Amino acid sequence: MKIEEYISELLFEHDCVIVPDFGGFVCNHAPARIDPVKHLFEPPGKRILFNKGLTRNDGLLAHHISSASKISYSEALDSIAKEVKRYKEEIEKDKRLTLDNLGLIYIDEKGSLLFQQDNKLNYLADSFGLSAFYHLPVEQAKTENEAKVIPIYNERKRVRTYAAAAVITLLLASAFTFNMLEKESNLHFSSFDFFSKKGTPQYAFSPSLYKELPTPIAAPAVAPVMNTTAPAPVTNVAVPVPVSASFSVIVGSFSIKDNADKLVSQLNNENLRASIVGRNPGGLYMVGFDSFPSHDAAATERDNFRKKFAKDAWIKAN
């Protein structure tokens, strides 16, 4: 009885088959492989290793032999023991043992017991029907007159590749341009929406907060009178006092005046009465809208502006 036939049968369903008093055959999953030198294509399979330390009987091989050969369990163990004895004698005599459908067990120059799997049989059930094959690379055309067949899908793939490269190049160029403009002009594109549609007011101000400043009344010219008599005191004369707006909402600061003018124009298109309200200690042109008689009124419009446009608006006291 050759027990390697039963070992081979068990390896299709089990990852470890132990031969009592001899060793165990252990399986590991091996993925598909391509040998670029031999041009060999191998499907997924099981890589078999031999472990001489697994000698304790687990009953798997003996039960399988007993069931397949219609013999008792003890008779199956006797058959295994006889085969193991023959294996050891053959290895000791010839330094090698060939097991059908399993591989070669041999002793190397250093006296180590090694195993080389027989790859003719694939023990992975999922790879049933798949076998290894050789495939040499296709030779390129040697003459210009030979026809070259280019699959249509390759042309489509090439066009898509060129289109994707063009889009990526355009995006990188745009990002670089915006970055340079932001550095040179001190203009922060993230603080204002320059691509919003114009024409429809998105932000309404309270008309009660804006008053025309009254024109100061000039004092009448009085001719000099050579009279030592003191004039009668004037009483109950109201002197007009102009309403002075003392707070502005600042929405941007620029080192270049043209950039400040552009933001003023954009804010005016949004129905915001914007203007350049001066320069800060650093020399930047400050853009603000309207003037408010109190800090609370300016804070209300500042908060509304932050909700609609930019979150970095602040209040400047005039």
pLDDT in tens, 30-89: 888 888 877 778 788 889 999 999 999 999 999 999 999 999 999 999 999 999 999 999
Q: Is residue 123 within 8 Å of residue 17, measured between CB atoms? A: no
The domain locations on the chain are 4-134, 152-185, 189-213+243-317
Output the pLDDT for position 221.
45
Residue 245's pLDDT is what?
A: 52
Give residue 125's pLDDT: 75
Average pLDDT estimate for 272-279: 86
> pLDDT higher for 93 or 139?
93
**277 band by pLDDT with thresholds 50, 70 and 90:** confident
Is the separation of the CB atoms in 247 and 314 below 8 Å?
A: no
More confident residue, 141 or 18: 18
Cα 71 to Cα 296: distance, rounded to the nearest angstrom: 103
User: What pLDDT does 220 receive?
Assistant: 45
Model confidence at 7: pLDDT above 90: yes
* Average pLDDT, integer, range 214-229: 44
Residues in Cβ contact with 29 at an 8 Å cutoff, skipping those fewer than 6 apart: 44, 46, 47, 124
Class of domain 189-213+243-317: alpha beta
Could you say which DSSP state residue 196 is in?
S
Q: Which amino acid is at 193?
A: D
Tell me what the pLDDT averaged over the chain comes to.
76
**Positions of E strands within 204-284:** 247-254, 274-279
Share of the chain above pLDDT 90, in %: 29
Average of pLDDT values for 122-151?
67
The per-residue pLDDT for 79 is 93
Provide the pLDDT for residue 6.
93
Q: Which residue has the higher pLDDT, 99 or 42?
A: 99
Task: Say what the pLDDT of residue 198 is.
Answer: 44
- Please report which helix (H) or strand (E) contains residue 89, including its range: helix 73-94
pLDDT tens for 222-266 read 444 454 455 445 444 433 434 455 788 898 889 999 999 998 998
Residue 18: phi and psi, rounded to 5, are -100, 130
Instruction: Give pLDDT, residue 202.
Output: 42
pLDDT of residue 168: 85
What does the pLDDT read at residue 24?
Answer: 94
| pLDDT surpasses 80 at 183 | no
pLDDT-derived band at 306, boundaries 50, 70, 90? confident
Q: Lowest-pLDDT range, 134-138, 193-197, 304-308?
A: 193-197
Helix (H, G, I), strand (E, B) or coil at 155: helix
Residue 179, pLDDT score:
65
Question: pLDDT confidence of 184, banded at 50, 70, 90?
Answer: low
SS3 317: strand
